[in-house]
Structure 1
């Protein structure tokens, strides 16, 4: 049997780091179990409706804060009006460890306190167009985890949806962090690679993507209303 060739850590752009095989198989299984629980409620997983009338091909469920284009709220008024599940302490710890390993900076990691996660499920046909993650009031890094099928991940620049950009493959267990100069870079998922995941993760098909963010919001301030 041929040994697997290790994939190196890669800094795609300043502040944008890919760490392959970061999650163990057991950690992936635990995350799949947690995400399945959130997918059933209190706010169920759904295809997000866009302001222009379109519907996203990925299905999304949130914890901590509910996201809809282009705002965060505690209750999912566009779904069922329920308050989303709380953001667990163990995910804060996971986010801090991700930042420490990606940036080799324990000080920055200690100050990182994500308070929301968008959990996207991609079937074989789902994709996500070029966009920026800029609905947060905080510029803290985004921590992204992949479980299941691999995808083509397109990471671009902060000025335009077009080139220059880099296409790389994100596989099950991979970590991708983008912050600093790359925090508002355009990025996309143009393609899923069906059949590349390991069913031992608990996910038979499709890609699960967990992105942790810091909203910069609190319940005492003004509501974050759609743009």
Structure 2
């Protein structure tokens, strides 16, 4: 009987150790597994380690594509793509997010090619080396407010760079216009110079890309 009891105690210890090991493994697994949050109106300030901020509602997805504007000699072409789960390390917090990136071609009203980075669209592994990048989603009433937008409509702000004026900090607001009555999808954009821009002494202070005007581009 003593041998049987001793064997039972040993078996119980083994079972408890296995149970403890499995419990710890499961806790570790679920604590390490990335939590998914919406990219828009996230319940935290991108401060959750190992989180994934996902374009759940497709605000970024609808902007993917090639978009073209032409007015006489002037033209603007954008190629926009989306990278999912791009890794970000900020404030010692490591997380992933969906983000847009792209390149563009701008020809001015004189027919002069000002910027053409289209050939670089598949060049960089770091998306922030591209001429277009960002994922800031804004509501109808976010300044500048959008009077034409519906209450639930959202826009996206991204950065756009002129690499010969890299001391300028431009941002581009994009509004998606769904296809209607046989018309193709469109986007309405507005480029403006950020207040953070600082012109270095002796450097050109003129804009080479169209700013402070609304431009409508059609999906190709």
TM class by shorter-chain length? under 0.3
Name which structure has the greater RCO, CA cutoff 8 Å, separation 6+: 1
Whichever of the two has the greater Rg, that structure is 2
Structure number with the higher strand fraction is 2
TM-score (norm 1): 0.27
